[in-house]
Structure 1
């Protein structure tokens, strides 16, 4: 698990091996999202951009969780974002944000049928492309 600080808000990220996505969304609180993407850096950047967009009132989605999906996918349509980066069986990232992000993430991990697995940094060039994709939502 990685924990980052964005001002007063903490962001906690874990990589999980998800067996089943059927009931998982009913369990997730408003400050936790699951993304099926390759790089944890993309999760962090998409979450920071989503939080900033709500602070500036430039958000495109109705919820921060939805905004994270839009940012991670680089699209403005929630259904397209879910198809592109929404939780799927296999390896996913789970992100929690807020004052108690780490505690919230650990609590959810204990309730869902998923195993936490280790993760590494992605290649810098790949991360750069993913950051550009996430930032695109501001100009679309």
Structure 2
């Protein structure tokens, strides 16, 4: 698990996606991408966009989806990076991020996997894609 006080992230193995969405609180998002770094960077920018009032989505969860996918349509973003059966990343944000994430992991019963760093080139490409949402 990664934790920086306001953001906590874990890599999980998911069997039943439908059940998870019924449990997720408003400060937790689940995504199907290759790199945890991409999720953290998108979450930081989503939080900052709400602080500045430059957000494109109505919710922080939606803003994270848009930024990770590099797409401005929620429906398309869900298709591209929304949770799927198998390996996913789950991110909690806010004052009690680590505690909230731990509670959700307990409730959904997903197996937590080890976080591994992506190649620097992949992370660089991800950062560039995420930053594009601000100019779209």
TM-score clears 0.5: yes
Q: Which TM-score bucket, shorter chain as reference?
A: over 0.9
User: What residue in structure 2 maps to residue 4 of structure 1?
Assistant: 4
- Matched positions, count: 136
**d(CA) in 1 for partners of 2:18, 2:65:** 18
- The structure carrying a bigger strand percent of its residues is 1
User: What residue in structure 2 maps to residue 71 of structure 1?
Assistant: 67
SS at match of 1:92: strand
Structure 1 moving runs of 4+ over 6 Å: none
Q: Give CA-to-partner distance per residue, 1:110-138, whole Å, 9 cap, x none.
A: 00041101021111111000001001100
1:1-140 to structure 2, matched below 5 A, reads 1-5=1-5, 10-140=6-136
TM-score (norm 1): 0.95
SS at match of 2:133: helix
TM-score (norm 2): 0.98
RMSD: 0.7
Deviation, 1:69, is 0.2
**107-116 or 61-70: which moved more?**
107-116
Where does the alignment leave 5 or more consecutive residues of structure 2 unmatched? none
